Structure 1
Amino acid sequence: LVEVADPFLPPGYPRASADALAASLAAGNVESASAEPLSDGAELLRGAAVVRAAGDGPVVGVVVASIVLSGDLTAHARRINGAFGTYNQLRVLTRPVTGVYLSFFLMTTLMILIAATWLGTYVAKRITRPVLQLAEGARQIGTGDLDHRIEPESSDEFGGMVEAFNAMAADLSTSQRKLIQSRGDLEHKTRETERRRRYIETILERIATGVISIDSAGRLTTVNAAAVRLLSLDATVIGEPAALIFERPDLAPLDAMLREARRGAFGRAAREVALARGGRECHLAVAATTLPGERGLDGVVMVFDDVTPLFRAQRVATWRDVARRLAHEIKNPLTPIQLCAERLRRNFSTAAPETRELVNECTSTIVGEVEALKGLVDEFSHFARLPSPRAVPTDINFLLADTLGLYAGLFHGITIETTYDPGLPVVRLDPDQIRRVVVNLVDNAAAALGGDRGLTSEPGGIIGVATYHDVTNHVARVTVSDNGPGIAEVDRDKLFLPYFSTKGRGSGLGLAIVRRIVVEHGGSIEVTENRPRGTRFSIELPCGASALDDTPVVAPAEGERA
């Protein structure tokens, strides 16, 4: 036994363990190392090896080597030994653990296969079931069951298809109900149309208005009893060409109207036609209406009304109205005569006594006779007619200045202000009638300001007369305005009606005649509010191109005051 010891071994270290290790190794044990703790926490390590004679000969000795490990190394060695021991223990569990993991993987694979199979079956059912339901629903719809519906089982694309199918079925059901209702309505309307046709035929045969219808081929299709009576036709003319029926000389105007209607040139307003019947004149109001078709004109309907009694009544009323206008027109020239007489009286007020007496006597006679004539024409039976305008090229500015000259110094407290457009062209008009219009409007303006011819009104009254050339609309505009109390808006539309007057006196024909004169000149007149107060009358007269060829009379300067 040979012991090789570390020279740094503590003194008195135990040797018994070395002897025991050597004896054990010599006895044939394989354990060739040992560890023995020391008192200071260190550890004594011993390793032994046998010494043989030669090769595999007998053991002739044992060599034991000892070394001391410090505390730190001892701790590391212990941990290493512990880990090595644990490793040796786990090596024993390698096979069981491997078997467990293999079993887990097998079970997981089996579960995945089962889940995949179930999911495939579920998805297949989810796909095929809605398709089968849609196919069955289509068969039900095809058999006429439009109320069949499919319950949606999901909100995906198949659910959208099911909802679309249900919406289609609902639309088909609604359309079918509407179709049934429409068929019922059509049958009802057919019956109603037939009833109304019989009703209209009955009315056409009973009414006093004549009705004739001509088809697109120009043949008579409808002739009621009144038309037969009014036109002296035979009831058997239905189906005959209208041109052949209307070729009679007395029905020639109707033939011309029919041709105009077929060309589309006949207006909507009825026309009056005079026919000779039994030695008397029959007046008919005829209206022709075209019947448009899908391929153009489908026919013409002509309506005849016997307006002979109405024509007679209108003629009587027209004569009365014309007579009233004539009385007013007679009164208009009396106004300048009276104005001139009164002006002569004022101008000769400072003359010699004999001259003044003669002038006063003459003017008094003139004024008295004028007043008597005015009273006479007021009571005059109106049996004359207002003459048609005799239009001549006229300078409106010069005409207005000449007319307003009659009012010079006549009104006290009223100023007549004029504003003339120097670029106003010559207009074709009747000077006498337009003069009457201006005199009437100025007299009305003076009366609104509280003044009358020869009378005094409150100071500050202004009557404005102005002209303007509207180049865009080719009209000459004449305005007469005042700063009086004005006219209520509710009365403005009635001013031009006969017998309407806001002055409480007079016949109410003045403005009606004014409007008639303006209209007969192709113009228009309107009344509006004058700002800031008062009334404004605006007259528009067309500017004829032919009148521009004449040399106009020089108009007075703009802004002249009368």
Structure 2
Amino acid sequence: MKPGPRGPGWIGAAVVATALISAIATFLILAGVIRVTPTPTIGVTLLAINVFLVLSLVVVIAWEARVFLHARRANAAVARLHTRIVGLFSLIAILPTILLAVVASVTIDRGLSLGFTDRVRDVVLKSVEVADAYQENQCQSLAREIRILNDDLTRARPNFDVNREWFENFLTTRATNLGLPVAQIMRGPTDVVARAKIDILKQTRLPSAAAFEDAAKSNDPICLLPTEGRIFAALLRMPAYDDAVLLVQREVSQLAIDFPGVSRAAAAEYLTYDSLKRSIQVTFASVFVLIALIALLSAVWFGLNFANRFVAPIRRLINAADQVASGNFYAQVPARKADGDLAHLGESFNKMTQELRRQHAGLTAASDLIDRRRRFTEAVLSGVSPGVIGVDAGGLVTIANPGAERMLGLAGEDLIGMPLTQVVPELAPLFPEAEGRQRALQQQIQLTRDGRERTVTVRVTSEQAQGAARGFVVTLDDITDLVSAQRTSAWADVARRIAHEIKNPLTPIQLSAERIRRKYGKVITTDREVFDQCTATIVRQVDEIKRMVDEFSSFARMPKPAIAEHDLTEIAKQNLFMIRVAHPDLDFAFSARGVEGAERVTAAFDIRLLSQVLTNILKNAVEAVAAVPEAELGKGRVELALSVEEAFAVIEVTDNGKGFPAEGRQRLLEPYMTTREGGTGLGLAIVSKVLEEHGGGIELNDNPAGRGGRVRMRVPRVLAADAQADQGLSPSLGERQGNHEKPGDHEKPGEHEEKGTARTGPQIAEMLQ
């Protein structure tokens, strides 16, 4: 359930800001910081403004509280956290505000009470009297001194007319002695009769004409209080000088000038405030209470607003997380910059859901791919002739293809779940050795089933996880027919040697025996019968040997293959798959580029023979990779590429193994050329012979990418006319050898066919046994 509308947030912020500004301004006015006299009128005005703002704050707080109360009633996410934040902010705001209001009210009351006691009242009123008495004292002092100066000047009247200079000096001396900076005898504001030569005062101002007139009419001194500046003046009529006026002036302290006025103003203000003391106390206390309320309500509004804004993104995150938990990986939350760090949390959540969505899609695609590969693997395993058996860490059979069932003579339901060492005891010694190996273990065993002994090549590959074997993959390849075919091929080579080495000398031997019989038959008289019998025996045995050589020669002739147009791509994939299953630790790559970029390449060949060719070459590549030390090898790789070159289909097998020797490379295609112990040297010779019978050829090259070798084979794309005419005349070597015939499979892993010496007769005989 979603909360109701919150309204524009700037309205509440504006009201709170205005209220706080008003409260601060009110406090500054009452504190006297601002030059505004806090009169009762101003106090009432401030009171009314703050009351209005308090009511406005109550309205905006009620609006914010609607969201909070609505979330609590709806039991929305993080409602408890929302409540705690609001309560905490309210508590933090209420306690200091109440304390402030109480202290301010008591302070104001105590302050006003202390300021309006009887003692303070007497002091304020007495200060006015003191100021007036000070001015009066100044006037009396000046009047006394002007009388003394007048008496002295009256006695010096005779000298005034005789010696004016002496008179002015006398006037100066007496004024100086009396402390009068200005002393003048004048007949008006502008007519100066005589003056003291002092002029200490810089800003002397003469009395008005009216003051002179008043002095001329009076026999007593007239004291003039300063209206501007701080100079007291006195005027006295001088009868001895024809009613001229004596003017004296004296400068006093500015405090003496200002103090009376200040005292009277302060006393008046004090009396005014004394009469309004109670109303002031009430007004000030009300204003302080309103300021406290404004602070309190502003803090509450900030708390509610902060809680609402703080909780809203968290609530959105919780709701979105619930959607993700229910399986909706498209859930997103809006990331607003106003949310601060919570916006970053929202962005992180959105990235998380995007990554979950991507990973979910990847897992789904991977699951589909794995399922498709599983079905493909099952289809391939069910179609390949070698037996493939999966064994778990406990030695129990988990999977077996039809080839394994046929080879072991057991149905799948009888084989699954059985200990493999119990089903095939001959395999028991291999598992302990294979468990500690990183590469596949390969051996040949003799397997007897249904009274028939078969020669089987076994490869055991361990599935390693954290240094321990979690299971094994066992491949069984029946090479009985292959061994037989290799021995047959070896005998054929023996026959060719006999034909070459024996047949040629037989004719001279036979001719020599016949000539001896003709030439010396008449000469020999003794034991003529024995002589004829011996020469006849020689001729007869030579004929017998020639017949036997002809039979060997006929046996040595390779039957012509049954060539027809087939899909070379499919045959190559099948052979590559069998090698990949047997060697999962290597990288295998396949590519095909036919006519006009098509992925299908067709050619004219005998399926069985060409399959044997591909198997032999691929195994040689794997063995060449295995011959390189692991520290130098890195990752073993074998590539099989098909392409079209004019009238030929080109097959290239490239590996990063040991490679071919630089010298005598072509001799590897000859029979019995090998340096490996136990090798026959017939593998590449048979491949070369098969390709020649197809009308193609073979080249042994270096890997252009670096270490390793490349075998390049060519097969005609179209069936030749003479091959079409000869179809069906004789069975192919592959038909005589069976489905499992694989030339070169008997060779020792880890080497290509390399440079060596021809086999001797005893070695050939030993191999044929």
Q: TM-score, normalised by structure 1?
A: 0.38
**Per chain length, whose mean CA-contact separation is higher, i.e. which structure has more relative contact order (CA < 8 Å, sep 6+)?**
2
Q: TM-score, normalised by structure 2?
A: 0.29
| Higher normalized strand content (fraction of residues) | 1
